[in-house]
Amino acid sequence: MQIYKTLPIVDAVLAKFKAIIGEDFDGYRNHVYRMVNCCFWLKECSDDDMRKIQIAAAFHDIGIWVDDTFDYLAPSVPPAVQYLQDNGLQGWTDEISLMITEHHKLRAYKENPDMLVELFRKGDLVDFSLGIFRFGIDKTLLRELKSIFPNEGFHKGLIKKSLKWFVKHPLNPAPMMKW
């Protein structure tokens, strides 16, 4: 299986947010690269599907920094929608919005099986779970992917952000998780 070491769409999008993401930039970029590669390994994708996955991946957690919140799903959508409008891709808005808002769904996404939502959810879960959930992806391949795109403190940063959120919102400790 091929490892995509260059994802021009991801890099172009994230470059615009580098200052906002700050010290978390390398960790987030590497997370995005790992999850995109996982999506590509889980299903053979058309060129358009590969573009959609890259766009959704670049924006999927961006609300953490754009809105400075751990309740980041909804705030991650408007920058993605703006990107789609700016690039004449409005026809992809519904699908990419769902990819972003449903990527932390605990159960499989079944509402629109023709969309990439479930594939995207699985790709993110492979990386978010540190490979506990692999959906058939070989462990050796994941190790190689992590070697090329190291964690750079991404998961540790999520834990810190979640603890800060929990102190302020103990009755809503994981607002981004959905059934």
Per-residue pLDDT tens over the stretch 71-101: 889 999 999 999 999 999 999 999 999 999 9
Query: Cα–Cα distance between 4 and 177 in angstroms, integer?
Result: 28
The string of pLDDT tens digits covering residues 95-128 is: 999 999 999 988 999 998 899 999 999 999 999 9
Query: Cα–Cα distance between 21 and 36 in angstroms, integer?
Result: 19
Banded model confidence at residue 33, pLDDT cuts 50, 70, 90: very high
Bridge partners, 105 (sequence order): 178
**What does the pLDDT read at residue 69?**
86
Any residues with CB less than 8 A from the CB of 173 and at least 6 apart, and which? 162, 165, 166
Neighbour-count burial for 119-138, b at 16+ CB within 10 Å, e otherwise: bbbbbbbbbbeebeebeebe
Phi, psi of 178 (to 5 degrees): -130, 155
Specify the higher pLDDT residue, 106 or 46: 46
CATH class as words, domain 8-168: mainly alpha
